[in-house]
């Protein structure tokens, strides 16, 4: 495979995504999932990856060395990823949960694996790597001896990749009931079969703890709450009450059950609503909170989507600030890999201007350590957030 000049620069930087537009020539007729070499004009090997004619990401690169992309290769990468969590990051608590493999962050583009206690959830977002699933599962069983491994795919992602694969149990046994995991002093129920993504937002683990530090004595609005992680952490830490707001009814049911599990049900209310509508309505009614957490889904799916995403962040944060009392804490996030931290902070600052408020940014937040950022892929630094105190 040969590339445009720009494409060559990308491949030389070891960025794992080679887009279709960067390819000038394909020698031979590789099938979907085949290992392919990417070479410079003078024939030098730039990288080796897996080909997918169905995807905009035509090749996902896994190495810049002359080594086979075989069972042993993927097993070794998976084992290295698992060791980082257990031996380096200290995330081996058998009752806890951690992200074991984070796609590009672990140089395994297209593969995510989360551990929830003794169960593993595999999320596939790349077709090429799906062809190596068996050795990957063997490596996971060898490293962690899980009770069961289940497969999840995201519908949109599977379509974009031409990935035809059925969700279900891959190895061992999976419980019908949600699994309980421990995070610090807290317990959460995780639905491994029908929950969002793999079932729980492990990337916010540290941020739930950080946000809770501002919660005592305050009323908290937890906007885009999913299963109530921030509401539970805040009320457990002494918030007067928390309102968990989400559009998803199943998410709110999990939030209510999580509040009960942690004996804070009396302080946690759930409201099914659109975040923008709910915040506007609260602002109009003059409701003020001591803390507003805003954790919306990804607004930018591609580089082209960034300007519209920044506008949406500005609007959402402006509305949040209208519901924040004097001295209140705004805890705000963007999980769009394409939106930089600098641009996101600028959008929040603009929102403050729109709302006629001034902010003091007191903390920068990011994805938890088990979601490593690869030096080859800046987009793997996807989660950014701030705690800001509003005057």
Q: Which residues of this chain interact with ligand SAH, rule CB under 6 A? A: 196, 201, 204, 224-227, 229-230, 246-248, 251, 274-275, 295-297
For residue 234, the minimal CB distance to ligand SAH (Å) is: 11
For residue 199, the minimal CB distance to ligand SAH (Å) is: 10
Q: Which is nearer to ligand SAH, 78 or 223 (CB)?
A: 223
For residue 146, the minimal CB distance to ligand SAH (Å) is: 23
Structure-block tokens of residue 115: 């551990």
Show which residues are catalytic. Answer: 335
Residue 195 CA from chain centroid, whole number: 14
Q: Which is nearer to ligand SAH, 79 or 269 (CB)?
A: 269
Structure-block tokens of residue 303: 């580089």
Q: What is the 3-state secondary structure (H, E, C) of 175-241?
A: CCCCEEEEECCEEEEECCCCCCCCCCCHHHHHHHHHHHCCCCCCEEEEECCCCCHHHHHHHHCCCCE
- What is the DSSP track for 296-364? PPP--SSGGGHHHHHHHHHHHHHHHHHTEEEEEEEEEEE--TTS-HHHHHHHHHHHHHHHT--EEEEEE
For residue 375, the minimal CB distance to ligand SAH (Å) is: 27
The residue written with tokens 């002494």 in the block is: 238
Q: Calculate the alpha carbon distances from 230 to 13, 20, 179, 186 in Å.
A: 38, 40, 19, 11
Q: Which is nearer to ligand SAH, 56 or 274 (CB)?
A: 274
Beta strand extents in 8-142 (DSSP E only) = 17-19, 23-25, 35-39, 45-51, 57-63, 97-102, 111-116, 119-124
Contact 59, 52 (CB under 8 A): yes
Contact 183, 204 (CB under 8 A): no
Q: Which is nearer to ligand SAH, 98 or 130 (CB)?
A: 98
Contact 389, 329 (CB under 8 A): yes
Instruction: Give the integer Cα–Cα distance in Å for 28 and 47.
Output: 17
For residue 244, the minimal CB distance to ligand SAH (Å) is: 9
Q: Which is nearer to ligand SAH, 295 or 376 (CB)?
A: 295
Q: Which is nearer to ligand SAH, 75 or 234 (CB)?
A: 234
For residue 316, the minimal CB distance to ligand SAH (Å) is: 9
């Amino acid at each position: 495979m040969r590339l445009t000049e720009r494409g060559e620069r990308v491949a030389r930087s070891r960025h794992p995504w080679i887009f279709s537009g960067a390819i000038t020539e394909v020698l031979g007729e590789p099938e979907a999932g085949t290992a392919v070499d990417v070479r410079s004009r003078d024939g030098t090997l730039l990288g080796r990856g897996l080909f997918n004619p169905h995807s905009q990401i035509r090749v996902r690169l896994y190495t810049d060395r002359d080594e086979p992309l075989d069972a042993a290769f993927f097993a070794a990468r998976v084992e290295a990823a698992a060791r980082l969590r257990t031996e380096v990051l200290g995330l081996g608590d058998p009752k806890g949960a951690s992200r074991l493999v984070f796609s590009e962050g672990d140089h395994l583009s297209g593969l995510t694996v989360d551990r929830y206690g003794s169960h593993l959830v595999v999320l596939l977002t790349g077709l090429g790597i799906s062809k190596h699933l068996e050795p990957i599962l063997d490596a996971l069983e060898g490293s962690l001896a899980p009770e069961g491994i289940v497969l999840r795919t995201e519908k949109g992602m599977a379509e974009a990749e031409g990935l035809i694969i059925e969700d279900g149990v891959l190895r061992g046994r999976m419980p019908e009931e949600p699994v309980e995991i421990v995070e610090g002093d807290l317990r959460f129920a995780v639905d491994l079969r029908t929950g969002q993504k793999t079932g729980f937002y492990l990337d916010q683990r540290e941020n739930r703890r950080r946000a809770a530090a501002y919660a005592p004595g305050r009323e908290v609005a937890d906007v885009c709450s999913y299963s109530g992680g921030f509401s539970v952490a805040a009320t457990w830490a002494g918030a007067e009450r928390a309102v968990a707001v989400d559009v998803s009814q199943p998410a709110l049911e999990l939030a209510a059950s999580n509040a009960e599990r942690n004996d804070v049900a009396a302080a946690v209310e759930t409201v099914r609503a659109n975040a923008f509508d709910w915040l506007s309505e609260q602002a109009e009614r003059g409701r003020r909170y001591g803390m507003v957490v805003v954790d919306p889904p990804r607004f930018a799916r591609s580089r082209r989507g960034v300007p519209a995403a920044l506008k949406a962040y500005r609007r959402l944060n402006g509305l949040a600030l209208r519901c924040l009392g004097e001295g209140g804490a705004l805890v705000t996030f963007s999980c769009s890999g394409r939106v930089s931290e600098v641009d996101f902070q600028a959008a929040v600052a603009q929102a403050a201007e729109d709302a006629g408020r001034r902010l003091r940014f007191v903390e920068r937040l990011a994805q938890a350590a088990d979601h490593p950022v690869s030096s080859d892929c800046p987009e793997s630094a996807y989660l950014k957030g701030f705690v800001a105190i509003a005057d």
